[in-house]
Amino acid sequence: MILSPSLLSADFSCLAEELAALEAAGVTWLHLDVMDGAFVPNITFGPPLIKALRPHSGLFFDVHLMVEEPARYLRDFKEAGADLLVIHAEADRHAQRTLTEIRKLGLKAGLALNPGTDLSAARWLAPDLDLLLLMSVNPGFSGQAFIPQTYEKIRAARALLAEAGAAGALVQVDGGACPENAAALLDAGADVLVSGSAFFGHKPYDARLAAFMKAAEGRAVRPGLRAARAWRHAASNANP
């Protein structure tokens, strides 16, 4: 399992210190929720904040673009220091082209699906994916209750990816993940869990990470997850 804590729940008055604390605790990924106030009813941050954080952290920046027409901003996020860009199927009319462009930029490419979006939206895009993100809450705000139908959707996603010849793609779950449901999420087929308040609200971070990772004990590691554990930020990503 990989845990990707969501920056939205961190202390914004001392973000550099928060990132240093995450690395010291053993966290390797950071989830950055970019919201534009159009695709979702909230506005967060964009490339300038990510660029400001990049020199202070070696974390793998997992950037979730909850924005309309994300293709307009791909190079901006690459130059800011993103490592993975995840676009929403519902926000991009030409998702296959956008995913291809993300990979051409040297970044990992992901597709996100809202709770009400059928997995068929990812069927023909699977070969272009490094990661499929399943929203387990409606996007826009942190702290929402987990939608239980997500377990079955994860199982179906794993089957779809295998059938499409993309069994190595990761399945990420975003929303309501906590140590109490982590084991069930992993058993359903999740590889990466995004956690906001359920992580940042429980210091010290090393103990909280351990609580999440305990759910993975004794479970088989899929080849795609094994490969993803080696993903790291490359300094070259900061330049086009």
Indicate the burial class of 93 (C-beta count within 10 angstroms; 0-12, 13-18, 19 or more). Answer: exposed
At 65, is the secondary structure helix, strand, or coil? strand
How far apart are the C-alpha atoms of 198 and 92, rounded to whole Å? 30
Assigned token pair, 231: 């993903």
Known catalytic residue at 33: yes
Q: Which of 62, 128, 130, 174 is catalytic?
A: 174
DSSP string, 157-183: HHHHHHHTT-TTSEEEEESS--HHHHH
Q: Which residues pair with 86 in a beta bridge?
A: 64, 110
Question: Biggest alpha carbon distance in the chain?
Answer: 46
Residue among 33, 62, 92, 130 flagged as catalytic:
33
Residue 191 annotated to the active site: no
* Sign of CA pseudo-dihedral 92, 96, 101, 107: positive
- Which residues are known to be catalytic? 33, 174
